[in-house]
């Protein structure tokens, strides 16, 4: 495994079964469980999270010794530099569609007054530390408690994501995001 602080390829998680991968319209029909503020007030939110089937949740839960949230994530434009909300640094992603032909995740230096609990950040005063090329149809882990952004998105980016859950396994449908 090519492991570092920012990113590592993951081999212990199997790819989702083809019958578990649902169409974008079917995912969106469920309703976004993690509404976020719009980056551009004239446009719809570029980031949305949706529940997966109970079967898919149970399949991936069996690979972790702690409770996890398994969700669909749809991103429709470049994400600005940010920390993910939540307390866990690890987010596992399986990209069904990278969202473009040259999508990259870039990791940046931290500043002393960064709001590590989550949110968007200014890029001024930061140094680009690492860039990873997005690869479809494989699992990887990223450290979401390091300033990062995703660039090169030209179509909907569809990912299966796994994070430690703040909800009990049987109470997964609620207002909290993964």
Q: Would you list the domain boundaries of the chain?
A: 7-166
Flag whether the pTM goes above 0.75: yes
How far apart CA 150 and CA 138 sit, in angstroms, is 17
pLDDT, position 61? 95
pLDDT at 44 over 70: no
Q: What are phi and psi of 58, to 5 degrees?
A: -65, -40
CATH fold for the domain made of 7-166: Jelly Rolls (2.60.120)
pLDDT, position 85? 77
pLDDT, position 2? 44
- Supply angle C-alpha 154, 157, 158, rounded to 5: 160
pLDDT at 109 over 90: yes
Summary mean pLDDT of the chain: 84
pLDDT, position 167? 58
Mean pLDDT of 96-110: 95
pLDDT, position 176? 44
pLDDT band with cut points at 50, 70 and 90 for residue 94: very high
9 beta partners = 140
């Amino acid at each position: 495994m090519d492991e570092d602080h920012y990113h590592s390829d993951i081999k212990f998680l199997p790819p989702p079964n083809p019958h578990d991968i649902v169409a974008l319209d079917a995912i969106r029909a469920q309703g976004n469980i993690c509404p976020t503020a719009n980056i551009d007030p004239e446009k719809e939110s570029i980031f949305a999270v949706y529940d997966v089937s109970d079967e898919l949740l149970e399949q991936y839960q069996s690979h972790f010794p702690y409770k996890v949230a398994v969700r669909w994530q749809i991103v429709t434009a470049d994400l600005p530099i940010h920390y993910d909300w939540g307390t866990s640094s690890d987010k596992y992603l399986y990209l069904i569609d990278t969202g473009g032909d040259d999508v990259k995740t870039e990791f940046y230096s931290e500043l002393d007054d960064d709001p590590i609990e989550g949110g968007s950040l200014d890029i001024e005063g930061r140094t680009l530390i690492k860039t990873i090329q997005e690869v479809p149809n494989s699992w990887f882990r990223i450290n979401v408690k390091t300033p990062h952004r995703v660039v090169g998105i030209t179509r909907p980016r569809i990912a299966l994501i796994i994070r430690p859950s703040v909800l009990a396994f049987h109470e997964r449908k609620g207002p909290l995001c993964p």
